[in-house]
Amino acid sequence: MVSLQVEKLEKFFPPNVYALRDVSVSIRDGEFLVVLGPSGSGKTTFIRCIAGLETPTKGRILFGDVPVVDVERGVNVPPAKRNVGMVFQNWALYPHMKVFDNIAFPLKIKKLPRREVEKRVREVAEALGISDLLSRYPRQLSGGQQQRVAIARALVKEPQVLLMDEPFSNLDARLRISAREFVKSLQRRLGITTILVTHDQHDAYALADRLMIINNGVVQQIGTTDEVLNNPANVFVAQFFGDPPINLVEGEGRGDHVDLGDLKIPVQAPQGRLQVGIRPTDIYVADRPLNPGDIELAPGRIVLVEYLGFTPVAVVRWERTEIRAAMYNKLREGDTARVFLRKEGVKLFRDGVRV
C-alpha cells in the first residue's frame, strides 16, 4: 500500500471551465478518504486525475515518494502503470462474460500465467463472499452481488490505491447500508489506501477517516467527520454537511450576544452583521434543560412538527425568526414552547466565512 500526495492540482476544460483549482491533500497509507460535494463540484475529475484517466493542467501527484504526475516536469505515468483499482458508478461489468472472467480481465491483460489468474480470482472471490457466483453472468446477479464483482475486479490486481466513484448510487436504501458496512470492513482488513467520491453525506458518516469537502473545484475543508460537522470552515460546509440541515439566520453582533431582532442569542460575538448557524441537535424544545449549562431562550410558538429520523424536529417561530429544533416533549403545533440552547453549538459567520 502507499500514501498519496496531491499538490496544487488544477484541471481546466476549454474554453472556460475549471474543474479543479489548486487542490492539495495528503492521504496517509491505509487511510479512507471520502471526497464529498454536490454534482459538478469536481469530485470525479479529482479521482480520474489520480487514476490517470485525466491529465491535469497543473500540479503534482505522488504515490509515496514517486511522482506519477508532475506537469511542470512533463511526468505523466500511464494509467496501466499506476497500479490503481477503480470501481465505477455503474460497475461496468462485461455482460457477455461470466463473473470469473469479469474479475480475471485485468490479470489477463497483464498476461499473467493461467494458474496465477485462477489463484488470485478465487482468493478475492472468497474474501468478498462471491465464490459461488463465478459461473454466473452479470444479468443473473442482484445489485449488491454485481457491486461485489466490480470491487473484486478492482482488487484482484492488488492495487496500491482503490478509487471508488459513487459505488452505492445504484443500490436501494437498505442494501446501501449493508454495502457500506462491507466496504468499510474490507478496507480495514486489507489496509488499502482508499478514496471514495460521493454526494451522499451518509456515505461520509459511515466510511470516512477524513473528509474532503469540495465545491466548484475548490477544496472547502479537510478534516474528520467531527471536525467538519462541529467546526465548519464556512457557510457552504455548514449547510452542505449535517442532517438535519443547519439553521442559518442573519443577526447583529453586540459583543455579549447576537441580536436577531425578535430573539437574542447569548454568545460572545464581534460587532457587526453576522450569520448565526445552529444545528437542530444544539437547540431543542423540552420541559427543562437536558444538560447543565444549557441556556433558555425566549419562548417560541411551534408551527410545524417534522419527523426526520427517530427524533421529531419542531419548527419554532418567534415574531419573524424560524428555527428548527429537536423536540423532547409532547407539545403540538400552535403550542408555546420552552426552547434551550447549547452555547458551544453556535457557529458565527461573516461574509460566508467562520469567525
Contact between 173 and 197 (Cβ < 8 Å): no
Q: What's the one-letter identity of residue 317?
A: R
The CATH code of the domain at 247-354 is 2.40.50.140
Helix (H) / strand (E) element for 67: namely strand 66-70
Task: Please give the share of the chain, as a percent, with pLDDT higher than 90.
Answer: 77
Distance CA 197, CA 42 (A): 10
Q: What pLDDT is attached to residue 179?
A: 79
CATH of 4-240, one of 3.40.50.970, 3.40.50.300, 3.40.640.10, 1.20.120.450: 3.40.50.300
Average pLDDT over residues 217-235: 96
Q: Is the Cα torsion angle 30, 63, 196, 157 positive or negative in sign?
A: negative
Residue 88: pLDDT band by 50, 70, 90 thresholds? confident
Classify residue 216 by burial, with Cβ atoms within 10 Å: 0-12, 13-18, 19+.
Answer: middle
Distance CA 47, CA 34 (A): 11
The pairing of strands 58-63 and 210-215 is unpaired
Q: Does 308 score more than 90 pLDDT?
A: no
Q: Does 172 score more than 80 pLDDT?
A: no
Q: Does 305 score more than 90 pLDDT?
A: yes
4-240 and 247-354, same CATH topology: no
Q: Does 186 score more than 90 pLDDT?
A: no
- Claim: this prediction has a pTM higher than 0.85: yes
Residue 282: pLDDT band by 50, 70, 90 thresholds? very high
- For the chain, how long is the longest CA-to-CA vector? 76
Residue 170: pLDDT band by 50, 70, 90 thresholds? confident
Chain segment 19-78, per-residue pLDDT in tens:
999 999 999 999 999 999 999 999 999 999 999 999 999 999 999 999 999 999 999 999
CA distances from 314 to 160, 294, 323, 338 (A): 48, 18, 8, 12
Residue 171: pLDDT band by 50, 70, 90 thresholds? confident
Q: What pLDDT is attached to residue 144?
A: 83
Q: What pLDDT is attached to residue 319?
A: 93
Domain boundaries, the chain: 4-240, 247-354
Residue 174: pLDDT band by 50, 70, 90 thresholds? confident
